[in-house]
Structure 1
């Protein structure tokens, strides 16, 4: 008898497995349908001996001391500040848009104070910011929106930015200084030996049993367990009772070339040209010194493994139906991006999992302990969004 069956060995499932085993002494069975741990953060050495991210670049950044300190138990860190260029009008210019971006594109010599006015002159007045298009044109105007955002977003999501919630483009700031870092978080670093090594350390507790290439439905009624943590798609758990939640997927073309460096930064975006959205060169992320270099070309797709919940009002309403069903289902905790149908960064998923563990500690007795709360109270606490 396991105390917990945890479905999914990505960040959400692995953090909860580690906490439940190490802090409570619970027996945990952790399963994943893939052949590896780490979820989409899984990395491996390719045939050239270069460490690559199989599912595209995963750049760790956070403002949370709690999250950074927690993960630091399982990895040393390599300091890394992420920089991205965009191929626009035949030039490679910084993204997020900053002072250098505008000066290079337009052959100007603006200063920081000048740029604020330059943006203001081009910004459109939008009475209510509702869509991703609204976010951008209200800040920098339509021309930069067309150059940097519209084409990239349509490739990424299969929808025009005017059809997407404002949260999509709101994630990318606009700057008036020369800061060309993609993120400005307090902690910016990469696991020194890779994400997979970090997950291996996280799951090394002997109370955690791991089964890969295992489907939840194949073992849920076969292997005894008291409670379940589910980190997969919530609509799949309920057999698509209300219909499928829409997702965007990705496919990757991994290549290795016989030169030390292919591009000037880790990631180059292609908002105007190409079928792919971006090219990632992994040596920038890992710090490896090697005579060859490996990259991935990223192609958004409508079908395939679910990566990104599509933020539209009708999709949110459909998720709410599943959420209500989840909250009425006993002894199941839904945690993570797919189970809560929200786009979370890695640190946010870790934070959500740690928050869920705190609620479990308060509400769920250890094996042999008396019940602390009613089953109804326990169900109310299950894996919702970080709080």
Structure 2
């Protein structure tokens, strides 16, 4: 008998498994349909001996000291500031757009932030109401830069024109007037020193945790004995697609090992104007590994395959809310993570969400269980037993 069945061994499931096993001293079975732990953050040494990310680049960045402190229990870190170049008009220029980008692209000599701001303002077009991703960009930098940097990339990534997508898609990408060419500006920009998989292995290395891989939830649910469930998979799948499928964009990865030390000047080069792929990533920039070979990944967006990105359109959010209502009515099931809450989260946000859900579990799920004979049985715990009854929760 397990106290908890956790479906999904990515960040959400693994963080909760470790917290429950450590702080509540309860038995956890964590399963994953893939043959490995770590979810999309899984990394490995390929046949050439290069540490690479199986599902595309995962760069850790956060402003949360608490999240870094928690994960530091399971890994050492190496500093890494991510830089991205874009192949635009046959030139490699910094992304996000900054003053250097403008100078190189247009042959300008903008010397100050004010110069760059004035240039962008002269290009910007007034938009009466900001509703779509196209509106966001055109209102900030004008249509020409929108066409060069955003439209083609977004069409490839989402299979939709930016005018058909919610404003949140491009609102996440800043435009700068300084020369800061870092992709992120968070306080903490770091990578697990020995890789993500090693961090997950240490996180799940607990006598109260059992791992089952290549496991289908529906089969395990019929055979395993457990009291409560944490589900981090697609929420529509949990409910047998009762209201229809929630739309996702997927990705296809083409990995190549090259007999050369370096392929490109930075970790990631975007291709907003040309090619079927959106970007090429070279992992040695991320990991700091010294090796005579290098490994790169071409990333192709796809309409089918593993779900990666919820498609941000109002009708999709409405469909999710119908599933969320079902989740809120489902006793002793907790829905956590990207797929279970139909939102795009960075890795640190998923960790934060999982830690927040654990605090709610501590407050609402009792440490006392009532077995079939009706006699209350206390389990040892590292915390005082709660008194409220457990309930399902779909996080916002």
Which whole-Å CA distance do the structure 2 matches of 1:18 and 1:142 have between them? 49
* Equivalence map 1:10-159=2 (5 Å): 10-111=10-111, 112-159=113-160
State the 1:4 CA deviation: 0.3
- SS of 1:297's equivalent in the other structure is strand
* Equivalence map 1:293-304=2 (5 Å): 293-304=294-305
State the 1:128 CA deviation: 1.6
- SS of 2:222's equivalent in the other structure is coil
Retained in 1: the 8 A contact 2:247–2:311?
yes
Deviations 1:38-93 (A, max 9, x none): 00000000011000000000000000111111001000001000000000000000
Which whole-Å CA distance do the structure 1 matches of 2:155 and 2:253 have between them? 18
Deviations 1:226-285 (A, max 9, x none): 000000000000000000000000010000111111100000000000000000000000
The corresponding residue for 2:382 is none
Which whole-Å CA distance do the structure 1 matches of 2:109 and 2:386 have between them? 69
Which whole-Å CA distance do the structure 2 matches of 1:374 and 1:3 have between them? 15
1:256 aligns with 2:271: no
The corresponding residue for 2:176 is 175
Which whole-Å CA distance do the structure 2 matches of 1:138 and 1:19 have between them? 45
Which whole-Å CA distance do the structure 1 matches of 2:58 and 2:386 have between them? 41
Retained in 1: the 8 A contact 2:83–2:183?
yes
- SS of 1:4's equivalent in the other structure is strand
Retained in 1: the 8 A contact 2:284–2:294?
yes
Query: Cα gap change, 1:192/1:371 in structure 2, threshold over 3 Å: closer, same or farther?
Result: closer
Retained in 2: the 8 A contact 1:249–1:302?
yes
Which whole-Å CA distance do the structure 1 matches of 2:131 and 2:344 have between them? 18
Retained in 2: the 8 A contact 1:281–1:295?
yes
Which whole-Å CA distance do the structure 2 matches of 1:249 and 1:344 have between them? 15
Which whole-Å CA distance do the structure 1 matches of 2:39 and 2:47 have between them? 21
Deviations 1:192-211 (A, max 9, x none): 00000000000001100000
- SS of 1:221's equivalent in the other structure is helix
State the 1:371 CA deviation: 6.7
Aligned length: 381
Consecutive unaligned residues in structure 2, runs of 5 or more: 369-376, 379-384
> TM-score normalized by structure 2?
0.95
* Equivalence map 1:197-236=2 (5 Å): 197-236=198-237
Which whole-Å CA distance do the structure 1 matches of 2:46 and 2:308 have between them? 23
The corresponding residue for 2:163 is 162
Which whole-Å CA distance do the structure 2 matches of 1:246 and 1:311 have between them? 9
Which whole-Å CA distance do the structure 1 matches of 2:341 and 2:224 have between them? 26
Deviations 1:6-48 (A, max 9, x none): 0000000000000000011010000000000000000000011
